[in-house]
Amino acid sequence: MSDSREGVGAGGLPEGLKLNEQGLIPAVVQDVGNGDVLMVGWMNAESLRRTLEGGRTCFWSRSRQQYWVKGLTSGHVQHVKSVYVDCDQDVLLVKVEQVGAACHEGYRSCFYRQVVGDSLESATLRVIAERIAEPS
């Protein structure tokens, strides 16, 4: 059932947005300036609302079962510039201006390891980036 605003579904979510069984949707965070993928987090309806209204990324921590605003304690904030939805409407793309490290390991991106090798049996992980901050 939709509410009175066009394009808005139940719970205030954009109409058609698909959450998983836990009420979550993955959010890929991308640097608006250079296109680098910085991290992936999980959002529910409330964390998406907080992200849109507050202008900083807010996620739902599955392990701690609580909301967390990226950079609130570290200062490595993400200023939200735009939010997109994929064609299946089950993944968000959040374009941000990143301040400092996006990764809790101190790297600008959480994707600082590359899989190297031409088969599964020979594949290894190689660190391809430099730490820019102390791990949190």
In a domain, 17, yes or no: yes
pLDDT digits (tens, 9 = 90+) for 45-97: 999 999 999 999 999 999 999 999 999 999 999 999 999 999 999 999 999 99
Q: Is the pTM of this model over 0.85?
A: yes
Residues near 102 by Cβ (< 8 Å), separated by ≥ 6? 29, 38, 39, 70, 76, 78, 108, 109, 110
Domain that holds residue 74: 10-105
In a domain, 42, yes or no: yes
CA distance 104 to 133: 9
Q: Please give the backbone phi and psi of residue 60, each rounded to the nearest 5 degrees, phi first.
A: -105, 120
Domain count, the chain: 1
- CATH code of the domain covering residue 95: 3.10.20.810
Strand partners, 5: none
